[in-house]
Each structure stands twice: as C-alpha cells, then as structure tokens.
Amino acid sequence: MEKIIEVRDLSYRYSEEHPLVLKEINFTVNKGEWLSIVGHNGSGKSTLAKCLNGLIIPQKGTVEVNGYDTADEQTIWEIRRLVGMVFQNPDNQFVGATVQDDVAFGMENHGLPRAVMVERLSEALRLVKMEAFAQTEPHRLSGGQKQRVAIAGIVALQPLIIIMDEATSMLDPEGRREIIQTVRDLNKKHQLTVISITHDLEEAIHSDRLLVMNDGQIVREGKPRDIFKSTDLLKKVGLDLPFAIKMRNALRAKEVPLTDSALFQEELVDELWTLHSSM
Amino acid sequence: MDITFEHVTHVYGQKTPFEKKALNDVSLHIPSGSFTSIIGHTGSGKSTLVQHINGLLKPSAGRISVGDFVIDANQKKQDLKPLREKVGYVFQYPEHQLFEETIIKDVCFGPMNFGVSDSEATKRAEESLQLVGLPAAYWHRSPFDLSGGQMRRVAIAGVLAVRPQVIILDEPTAGLDPRGREEILSLFSDLHKRLNLTIIMVTHNMSDAAIYSDQVIAMDGGKPLLADTPEEVFSHVELLRKVGLDVPETMEFLSKLLKKAGKQQVVTAFTLDDTADAVIDLLNEVKDHV
C-alpha cells in the first residue's frame, strides 16, 4: 500500500509550562483508506489532526504529507491544499455570503484562474448534492447542508486527504447520515483518503483502520474488528462500545452462548438466528 | 409547577416576506415534577416551543401557564423576572456563556441578578457546584482552564444557583464524549429525583429520550405529533419514520430480529437488559412454533 502521510516521533506541547499533549507518536496513513481516530475529550486527537496539515508544527519529530515536510514553509500551502479539514461547528467555517461564494473562497486563496474556478465550483457542488443551493445564503441551510458546503470547498481544491474533526457531532441524526454518505462516496468513488476524528463508534466500525488515543499516545492501532475485541482496554480509556457489542454482552450475561465475532447489528441478528435454529 | 399550552401559535417575521409559522395551534400539558423529552427533526419547532416556557418568545396567539404565571398573546408587556427565576434554561453549549474571572463568581452571577445578597449567592454557588460535582479546589480558578465537560457543569451550576423549579435543557449533551454525556444525563436524572425538579429536555438522541423520560413529545411541522409515555410514543415506528425520526437503537435491533423471524409486531424495549429479555422471549417463541 502507498503511504500518503508519515508521522515519526511526534511530540507536542502548547507551551513550556504545559505538559506534552502528544507523546512520541508514530503512524502512517495509506492512500485511499478510511482511518478513524477515537479517544475521549482531551486525549490529543484534535491536536494530532492539526499537525497533519501543518496548522501545528511539532516541536519534536516530523510529519510528511505526500513527501512534503509540514515544517517546510516553502511547501506548506501545497500541503494545506492536499489536506482539507472539516471542523466541528458548521457556523464557524462559513465565510461566503452565499453557498457558491463560500466554495469559491478557498480557490481564490489559492489563486486559481476564474475559468477553472467556475468549472470546479459546479463539479464540487454536484458531488455533495448541493447544486440546487448555489445562490442560497448560509442561514437558510441546515447544519448538515452547511457541512456539505464546507466539504465542497475542500473538494474544489482537488485534495488527496480530507480530515473530519468531529464534523458530525453538532448535527442531528439526518445531517450526520448525509455527511457520512457524502464522504463515503468521495472515499470509494474518488479514492479520497479520509481521516475521521470521532466519538461515534457506529461510524468508526465502518472504517478500514482505527487508532485509539489516550493521554497523548496511540494505545491501539488496527482493524475495527480486532480492536473491539479488547473491550476492557476501550472501557479503561473512557470509550463507549458499539451497540452490537453491548447487546452481545447483555445477552451473554443471560447465558445466551454468543461468540466474539459480531461487530455490526446485522451480524448479531444472523448469529442469534443461527443459534436458535440449532437449539 | 404544571405547564400548560393552550392553542399556542408562534409566527416568525410576521408581515414580512419571510413569515413562518413555527408553532401551529399547540395544546399540551407538562405535569409538575415530570421529566419530559421533546424530539423532532431540525425545524420541527422544538426550540421555539421550549423558548415560550420562560418567556424568551411571546406567543402570536394562545396562552401558556407555568404554575400561576400566565403569558397570553393578547396581554400587554409584563415583568418576566418572576417567571425566569422559576424556569432555568440551559442553552446549547452553555459553556460559551462563561465570562467571569473565577468559577465561583461566574456561578454567583445568576442569583445576584435576581437580587440575592453576596453572601447568600456565594452559599448557593457552593451548593450548586457541589451538586454538579466540581471539587472545591477548583472554585477560585478561572473557568477557562477547565475541560469542555467541566465547563459545561459550571454553566449548569450557574442555572441551579438561581434555584429554579423547572429546568429546560436544549441538547445538553451535544459535542460531549460518551463519558461526558453519561455524566451530564445522570446528573439531571439525579437532580430530577432528589430535588423534584421538572425537567424538559430537547434531544436528538432517541435512546436518551426513551430511558430518562416520563413523557415524550414528538414535534412535527410546528405541532405535537405524539405526546405520551416513551413506550407509547416509540411504538409508532412508522409514523416517527415518516417525519424523519428514528426509534432507540435497542428497538432498531429488535426490529431487525423480528423481521428475520417474519413477524410484523413492534416490541418496545429501551435498556440493554430489557432488550436482551425481549430477544430471548422472541427466540423461545419462534422455537416453540417450529
């Protein structure tokens, strides 16, 4: 697999008097994968995300994006174009007076010629299914729609990576589904690499790979199916469990002989059904 | 304090091109000492509804009574302070409203606004901070050095220090991690029981609405679509889906299993324990019929 981000021995603190918020972090991100980073509030997830597009430059260690070092001022704008970031609050990242102005803002900053901007604008709005709202003012949009506009602004810059920093946590369930579906399409159909910082374990179980953070360190890394087998560790670092696992544990407590294998609700339903047929 | 809405209508931007009827002839009752959750998709009128309870919004038509206090659409302007002292409102992201130098000063701000003396306000602030579980060692520090979850608890203490009888919570767990969410919800569940507070919670989380409430009100298009016990409200799965609402994930799971068994019925269960029992019952039942 082709590496797209490589993080080596990264440590970071906000100032001399403060403790390290990231401690000796090492990991890589593969091109085209969906990587989720989970951990409780204050575990260092968001700080780590800000290191990945050079918003924060680590005091120790290096971050390379597509071969560029984030500490190199010569290439920082190229890195920021390659790595788009969607933040938590939809209202804090809307700068344009209309949807199309907002999507164009990033392209203007990167000095794209007008003809290219016009072409990419309509393409980006089409990808996030917001083309009908090009002239709409932000206050007429739902939270989910605003986040889709934020994603369009990123997509218009033709990035390689999109980072979602709890991008769905302020949305209602419908808005949340809209965003996940949009990003999933970009990931599958357009090979965009996705890094998602999230508390939503039902979202995380669908990712290709998972990093578990606690106290500024990566404590586990692997496929969701393997990681959610160590339920004790997850509880210890203050994380919830996916619904199917909580349900399985509740059934086991009532002596239903279930295995460790189910991660999705559908799998647990199938397992229960098979079990009942053989009883 | 009983809360009653009688034919309440609220129109935003009346007589402008943007006129919008956010509440449409709403009549409902929230009994004193109950825990009521309000659900509904974005734009269904949830927040508009609860903002009438402490007079943040005035009805365009109809009347609202909160205990002895009455707000009538046809009435002239009145002093709302007595109402606001009784009805505390915890806004979304209440930690954004912290502003004082120290935590204790911030919590004192509310009661002092209602004319309580310095010493009494301090006493109440200390009590409230204890209720929300913030250790005394923090009280004279800046609220801005706390974590997000702790800041939220300080903001909630500020509302409690006024000693309201009714508390309105607008999505109290938005943006918190699972641990923080659990802490805030059990805090209110506990306050509800210990202080007999009437709690009204606006939420997008169906499981929270089902587990903590005595009454669930499902809003749609500015009207209550359903208002009943959680068991009754969540048994209307089709109706809820039609207006863009989910059912608790325990019921989603049960419905998948029921479908597999070829059954049409709806089973309501909200806790993992009750759901496990329902699963076992269902499997036994199906087996007996084979």
Residue A29 in 3-state DSSP?
Answer: strand
Q: How many domains does chain B have?
A: 2
Question: Could you give the residue ranges of the DSSP H alpha helices within chain A?
Answer: 45-52, 76-82, 99-109, 114-127, 143-155, 173-190, 201-204, 224-227, 231-236, 243-253, 265-278
Chain B: residue whose CA lies nearest to A172:
B204
**Residue found under tokens 């365009």:** B60
Cross-chain residue pair B273–A142, CB shorter than 8 Å: no
| Torsion sign, CA atoms B271, B273, B279, B282 | negative
Q: What is the mean pLDDT of residues A5-14?
A: 95
**Is B147 found in the same domain as B62?**
yes
pLDDT band at A229 (very low <50, low <70, confident <90, very high): confident
**Partners of residue A266 in chain B, C-beta under 8 Å:** 256
**Is B144 found in the same domain as B110?**
yes
Residue B114, pLDDT > 60, answer: yes
**Closest-CA distance of chain B to residue A251, Å:** 5
pLDDT digits (tens, 9 = 90+) for A51-68: 999 999 999 999 999 999
The burial class, CB within 10 Å (0-12 / 13-18 / 19+), for B287 is exposed
Please provide the size of chain A in residues: 279
- Compute the mean pLDDT over every residue in chain B, rounded to the nearest whole number: 93
A 47-106 residues inside an 8 A Cβ radius of B: 88
Identify which has the larger pLDDT, B42 or A107: A107
The burial class, CB within 10 Å (0-12 / 13-18 / 19+), for A148 is buried
Residue B290, pLDDT > 60, answer: no
Put simply, whether A268 touches B (Cβ < 8 Å) is yes
Q: What is the mean pLDDT of residues B262-282?
A: 93
Put simply, whether A19 touches B (Cβ < 8 Å) is no
Identify which has the larger pLDDT, A91 or B227: B227
**Is B124 found in the same domain as B70?**
yes
**Partners of residue B272 in chain A, C-beta under 8 Å:** 246-247, 249-250
Which pairs with CB-CB distance under 8 Å and at least 24 residues apart come from B284-288?
Answer: B286/A276, B286/B261, B287/A276, B287/A279
Residue A198, token pair as written in the block:
């999230």
Cross-chain residue pair B272–A250, CB shorter than 8 Å: yes
pLDDT band at B137 (very low <50, low <70, confident <90, very high): very high
**Is B270 found in the same domain as B239?**
no
A125: CB partners within 8 A, 6+ apart: A99, A100, A103, A131, A133, A134, A152
Cross-chain residue pair A250–B276, CB shorter than 8 Å: yes
Cross-chain residue pair B176–A253, CB shorter than 8 Å: no
Do residues A3 and A30 touch, judged by C-beta distance below 8 A?
yes
pLDDT band at B206 (very low <50, low <70, confident <90, very high): very high
**Is B216 found in the same domain as B104?**
yes
**Is B224 found in the same domain as B254?**
no
Q: What type of residue is B231?
A: E
Lowest mean pLDDT among A111-115, A235-239, B245-249, B274-278: A235-239
Do residues B23 and B49 touch, judged by C-beta distance below 8 A?
yes
Put simply, whether A269 touches B (Cβ < 8 Å) is yes
Q: Closest Cα to residue B161, out of B189, B202, B132?
A: B132
**Is B162 found in the same domain as B254?**
no
**Closest-CA distance of chain B to residue A135, Å:** 17
B148-160 helix and B178-194 helix, angle to the nearest 10 degrees: 20
pLDDT digits (tens, 9 = 90+) for B22-68: 999 999 999 999 999 999 988 889 999 999 999 999 999 999 999 99
Residue A101, pLDDT > 80, answer: yes
**Is B153 found in the same domain as B255?**
no
Put simply, whether A28 touches B (Cβ < 8 Å) is no
User: Rounded distance, CA B96 to CA B280, Å?
Assistant: 46
Predicted confidence at residue B5, as pLDDT, reads: 98
**Partners of residue B257 in chain A, C-beta under 8 Å:** 269, 272-273
Residue B261, token pair as written in the block:
């068994």
Vertex A229 angle, CA A270 and A30, to 5°: 100
**Is B252 found in the same domain as B194?**
no
Cross-chain residue pair A175–B42, CB shorter than 8 Å: yes
Cross-chain residue pair B276–A40, CB shorter than 8 Å: no
**Residue found under tokens 């959680």:** B230
Identify which has the larger pLDDT, A89 or B165: B165
Cross-chain residue pair A243–B41, CB shorter than 8 Å: no
pLDDT band at A279 (very low <50, low <70, confident <90, very high): low
User: Rounded distance, CA A219 to CA B60, Å?
Assistant: 56
Q: Is the ipTM of this complex over 0.90?
A: no
Q: What is the mean pLDDT of residues B159-187?
A: 90
Put simply, whether A15 touches B (Cβ < 8 Å) is no
Which residues constitute the domain of residue B186? 3-243
**Is B239 found in the same domain as B277?**
no
Q: Which fold has domain A3-223?
A: Rossmann fold (3.40.50)
User: Rounded distance, CA A245 to CA B114, Å?
Assistant: 49
**Partners of residue A249 in chain B, C-beta under 8 Å:** 272
Percent of chain A with pLDDT over 90: 72
**Closest-CA distance of chain A to residue B179, Å:** 6
**Is B286 found in the same domain as B258?**
yes
Residue A208, token pair as written in the block:
């290709």
Residue A65's DSSP bridge partners are A5, A68
Put simply, whether A240 touches B (Cβ < 8 Å) is yes
Predicted confidence at residue A18, as pLDDT, reads: 84
**Is B152 found in the same domain as B53?**
yes
Select from A170, A199, A254 the Cβ nearest to the Cβ of B280.
A254
Residue B229, pLDDT > 70, answer: yes
B18 alpha carbon, distance to own chain's centre: 28
User: Rounded distance, CA B143 to CA B129, Å?
Assistant: 12
The per-type count for chain A, helices as H runs and strands as E runs, is 11, 10
Residue A92 in 3-state DSSP?
Answer: helix
pLDDT digits (tens, 9 = 90+) for A125-183: 999 989 999 999 988 888 888 999 999 999 999 999 999 999 988 888 888 888 999 99
Select from B174, B244, B276 the Cβ nearest to the Cβ of A251.
B276
Residue B289, pLDDT > 70, answer: no
Residue B114 in 3-state DSSP?
Answer: coil
Predicted confidence at residue A134, as pLDDT, reads: 94
End-to-end CA distance of chain A: 45
Q: What is the mean pLDDT of residues B183-195?
A: 92
Q: What is the mean pLDDT of residues B197-204?
A: 96
